[in-house]
Amino acid sequence: MDYGQEMNTDGENEPDRRCVDLIVLGISYRSIEADVKKCFEAFGELVFCEIKRDANGQSRGFGFIRFKNYESQLAVINKRHFIDGRHVDVKIPDSKTSAHEPECARKIFVARLPDNITPDDLRQYFSKYGAIKDVYIPKPARSFAFVTFHDSNVVRTLFGTHIILGCSVTVGPAEPKNKPSAIGDYPSSTFKRAKPDHSSLRTLTAYGASPAHSHYHQQYGQTPNTDMMHTFFQQYGATTTGSPKGPFSNAQQSYWGGTHEEAAAVWQQQQQHYR
């Protein structure tokens, strides 16, 4: 699914100036794609135009369009237009930001947080990177927090170490909510070779990281680093003090072996061990 984003004709690769699919509401059941197209092409070139239909081909009265240039999108959005004698509304679809993209994609996990840091502190610090939707700090404090942005694109740029109020904190991707065992959500094709070695703590730790790795891959298309794994373990209260090389030394190689089921089992042991 690619609508030509790489063309970069109008700065559309910049996070806030990208064209997205727009929902067109209130289309006449009699209208066809050409009618919708004709209406919106007056504002700029479309790369996509579609009316949603049921199994019988009957229009469902709404559809989606996408412009090539952001200026065009700006011109039509949240305005009322007329197609075939009916007014239609154009909006950013809700499905794009909620259902289609999980909330955790817009969320960072902040670890090693001093207990005296407030939500306002975090808001103030991270707002220089992008608009913030929510800041969550558990009560009582547990040395971590979640910061949710409006745009998922800033998230991946923040992974690593940050200094907030003189304290070094670690930022990593947030795991899916209510799913510490959401290992089944990750593509098992990622893990298909070796068997995990239950005899070594190092391997246990490495396997425990695989959901985070996989999640990272799926969400951000990059290979996670040691720092990020560190963050992941802290999320679950695991002891990660000491050299980063410590329990993480063979994380990479182990990550690529083993199955999700195995990783899940080992992860359970891992958590027991650290209690």
Enter the tokens of residue 258. Answer: 């083993």
64 bridge partner residues: 23, 50
Residue with smaller CB distance to DNA, 52 or 198: 52
**Segment 26-45, which members bind DNA (CB under 7 A)?**
26-29
Of the candidate spans 53-61, 104-112, 171-179, 228-236, the one that interacts with DNA by CB under 7 A turns out to be 53-61
Q: Is 82 in the site for DNA (CB under 7 A)?
A: no
Q: Is 95 in the site for DNA (CB under 7 A)?
A: yes
Contact letters for DNA, residues 133-172 (x by CB under 7 A): ----------------------------------------
Residue with smaller CB distance to DNA, 21 or 262: 21
Of the candidate spans 21-29, 104-112, 119-127, 152-160, the one that interacts with DNA by CB under 7 A turns out to be 21-29
Q: Is 49 in the site for DNA (CB under 7 A)?
A: no
Q: Is 2 in the site for DNA (CB under 7 A)?
A: no
Residue with smaller CB distance to DNA, 19 or 183: 19
Q: Is 86 in the site for DNA (CB under 7 A)?
A: yes
Per CB under 7 A, the list member of 48, 220, 236, 256 interacting with DNA is 48
Cα distance between residue 122 and residue 127, in whole Å: 8
Q: Is 76 in the site for DNA (CB under 7 A)?
A: no
Per CB under 7 A, the list member of 23, 147, 212, 264 interacting with DNA is 23
Q: Is 177 in the site for DNA (CB under 7 A)?
A: no
Q: Would you tell me how many other CB atoms lie within 10 Å of the CB of residue 266?
A: 22
Q: Which residues bind DNA (CB under 7 A)?
A: 20-21, 23, 25-29, 48, 50, 52, 55, 58, 60-62, 64, 86, 91, 93-96, 99-100
